[in-house]
Structure 1
Amino acid sequence: MTTRTVTTFVVFNHPFRLTGLDQLQPPGNYEIETDEETIDDLSFIAYRRVSTLIHLHPQPDRPGIVQTWTVDPSELVAALAADERSTEEATPVGEKAGYNETVR
């Protein structure tokens, strides 16, 4: 069985929370690692997700400690969607429409 790791980056514009973490995570760029393994006995190459990890930012009270957290991919997608909705709600109407003026 062959394994591979796919690395992506996501951006949170607002603080967010994930199951099992006590503190809100700060906004910013986050590295996501997805480990996948091949599915044997197929006539083509296919992979299944084995785990998804997020590299968290160090907490202000513990600056030298970096955490990597196992996250449910569907929870990560939901957190990113909630962050996107929050960003859209906070954006002035003129900017949503692509204008540079503020609608009053």
Structure 2
Amino acid sequence: MNMRSTRSTVTFSNPFTLSGYPGELSAGDYEVLVEEELLQGLSFEAYRRTATYLTVRGRGNHAGRTELRAISENDLIEALSRDQAATETNYHSDAALSPPEDRK
């Protein structure tokens, strides 16, 4: 069985949570590791995703530790969507707008 791994980086602008894991993770850049296996017997090359991991770096008392958290592709997409929606809400809030100028 032939396997391949790809790495990418995702950025969260806001603290976020992941399904199945307690606690909140800080905003920032996170590395995503995707493992795939080659599908055999096809007339063309195709791969099937077998696992997705989010690399979480320890903070505070756990600084220096790195954890690979198994996540589903859907959970990652949902977390990124929630982050984008929160960012857009914050960007368009009244608090983010400067007060109108008083013209005489």
TM-score scaled by length of structure 2: 0.85
Q: Which has the higher strand share?
A: 2
Unaligned runs of 5+ in 1: 94-100
State how 1:1-104 maps to structure 2 within 5 Å.
1-92=1-92, 102=98, 104=100
What count of residue pairs does the alignment treat as equivalent? 97
Whichever residue aligns with residue 66 of structure 2, its letter is V
TM superposition shift of 1:2: 1.3
TM-score scaled by length of structure 1: 0.85
| Structure 1 pair 103–49 and aligned structure 2 pair: CA distance change class (3 A) | farther
- Percent identity, aligned pairs only, is 29
In 1: Cα distance, 2:99 partner to 2:63 partner: 42
In 2: Cα distance, 1:85 partner to 1:103 partner: 24
Deviations 1:33-74 (A, max 9, x none): 000011111100000000001100213231132211101110
TM superposition shift of 1:103: 7.0
Larger radius of gyration: 2
Runs of 4+, deviation exceeding 4 Å: 101-104
RMSD (Å) for aligned C-alpha atoms: 1.7
Unaligned runs of 5+ in 2: none
CA contact (8 A) 2:10 2:32 kept: yes
